[in-house]
Structure 1
Amino acid sequence: MNKVIERMRNGERITETDADFPLLYSEIENTKKLVCELNNKYHSPDEIRTLLERIWGQQLDASVRMFPPFYTAFGKLTRVGKEVFINFGCTFLDQGGITLEDGVFIGPEAKVVTENHPEEPALRHRLLVKPIVIRRNAWIGAGAIILPGVTVGENAIVAAGAVVTKDIPDNVIVAGVPAKIIRNIKQ
C-alpha cells in the first residue's frame, strides 16, 4: 500500500486499469470503515486524534482537534499541522492532496475538494485532481467550499458559504460565489 500512496503523493493518477488499483480500492474501503467508526459513537479527543492518524496516515500533534462527523474517502493525501481545528460535518476529498498548515480553523460543514471531472460527457468518468493548500492561521467559514488547485493565504478568512475558485492572498477576507476579496484583515 505504501507504494500506491507514494505514487499518488508524487502526483501520479491510479485508474481502474492500473495494476495497483486493487490496492487503492482496498485503502479506500479501509478509510471508509475508519470514518464510520469515527462518526458513529462517542470518542474522547485523544481517541479522535488516534482515528484521524489512521485515516490520514500521519502522527498528529496533541493540539489538533476535530468535532465529528467528518467525511473522506481516501485520507492518505491530507497533511495537517499543529493547532488545527476542524468543526462538525466537514468533507475532505483529498486525492489531489490537502495541506492544512499550523493554526488553520475549518468551520462546520466546510468542504475541501481536490477532485473534479472533465466537462465533456464522454470523459466525465475520469477524475481530475489538483492540490489545495490552506496556509497558516487561515479560517475557513461554515459551509465554505474550497475547489481544486486553490491556495488560501496566511491569515486569510473565507466567509461562510463562499465558494473559492482561485488563490486567496494573505491577510484578506473573501466572500461570495465565486469568492472575491471584501477587504484586508484589520491589523
Structure 2
Amino acid sequence: MMRNGEPVSMNDPEYAAAATLIADTWKKCEEINCIPRTCWELHDVIIEKLGIQLPETSNIVQPFHIDMASGLEVGENVFINYNCSMMSCGGITIEDGVQIGPNVMLVTTNHDFAKREWVLHKPIVIKKGAWIGGRSLILPGVTVGENAVVAGGAVVTKDVEPNTIVGGNPAKVIKRLDIK
C-alpha cells in the first residue's frame, strides 16, 4: 500500500508489520554505523546486512540512515556522502552517476493534514547525472531531472527540470545549464 501511494493508518494492524520492518532496518543501520569502515568495506556490509542491491561502482558513506532498505534502488557510479537520511517507504530511485552531498534528507513519507495518524507516501526519483548539494531536503513525490543541480540547503518541494540549478526554500530555478 505504501509503494502504491495509498494512505495508510498507523492504527491499522497491517501497519504494525511495516513498523516492525522499519525498526529492524533502523537497528541494522545503527549496528553498521557503529564500526568505522572504508567505503569499500561498507559497500559489502550494506549488501549483506540490508540486502540493498548496491553496484560495485557505487558507495554510501557512513553514517547513513534508512527506514526501508527494500525501498531504495541505486544505479552505477553513485556516491552518497555521510549522514544521508533516506525515508524510503514510498520508494527512492537514484539513477547512474548521481552525487549526493553530506547531510541530505530524502523523504518519501508525509502525514495527512486532517487525519495525522494517516501516512502518505510518494516516490522520489533522482535522474542520471544529478548532483544534490549538502543539507538539501527532497520531499515526497519529487523527481530531480537529468544533470540537474540542487544547491546546498535547498528545500525541494516540486520536480526539478533537467539541466537546471535550483536553490532556496522552496527551491526555485537559479540557472539553466548548457549541457550537451
Residue matched to 2:168 = 176
Residue number among 158, 170, 175 corresponding to 1:166 in the alignment: 158
2:89 is matched by which residue type in structure 1? Q
Residue matched to 2:27 = 33
TM-score, length-normalised on structure 1? Answer: 0.86
Q: Contact between 2:3 and 2:122, CA under 8 Å: does it hold in 1?
A: no
Distance 1:43 1:114, change over 3 A: same
Tell me how far 1:17 sits from its aligned partner. Answer: 4.9
Aligned-CA RMSD value: 2.0
Q: Which has the higher contact order (CA 8 A, sep 6+)?
A: 2
Tell me how far 1:45 sits from its aligned partner. Answer: 2.4
For 1:78-93, list aligned pairs within 5 A: 78-93=72-87
Q: Contact between 2:154 and 2:171, CA under 8 Å: does it hold in 1?
A: yes
Residue matched to 1:107 = 101
For 1:97 and 1:55, how far apart are their aligned partners in 2? 19
Unaligned runs of 5+ in 1: 1-6
2:132 pairs with 1:140? yes
Tell me how far 1:9 sits from its aligned partner. Answer: 4.0
* Number of residue-to-residue matches in the alignment: 179
Residue matched to 2:146 = 154
For 2:49 and 2:121, how far apart are their aligned partners in 1? 20
Distance 1:118 1:15, change over 3 A: closer
Residue number among 39, 42, 48 corresponding to 1:48 in the alignment: 42
Q: Contact between 1:55 and 1:75, CA under 8 Å: does it hold in 2?
A: no
Q: Contact between 2:7 and 2:118, CA under 8 Å: does it hold in 1?
A: no
For 1:26 and 1:54, how far apart are their aligned partners in 2? 19
SS in structure 1 of the partner of residue 125 of structure 2: strand
Identity %: 44
For 2:7 and 2:41, how far apart are their aligned partners in 1? 32
Residue matched to 1:4 = none
Distance 1:54 1:114, change over 3 A: farther
TM-score, length-normalised on structure 2? Answer: 0.89
Distance 1:63 1:103, change over 3 A: same
Q: Contact between 2:105 and 2:135, CA under 8 Å: does it hold in 1?
A: yes
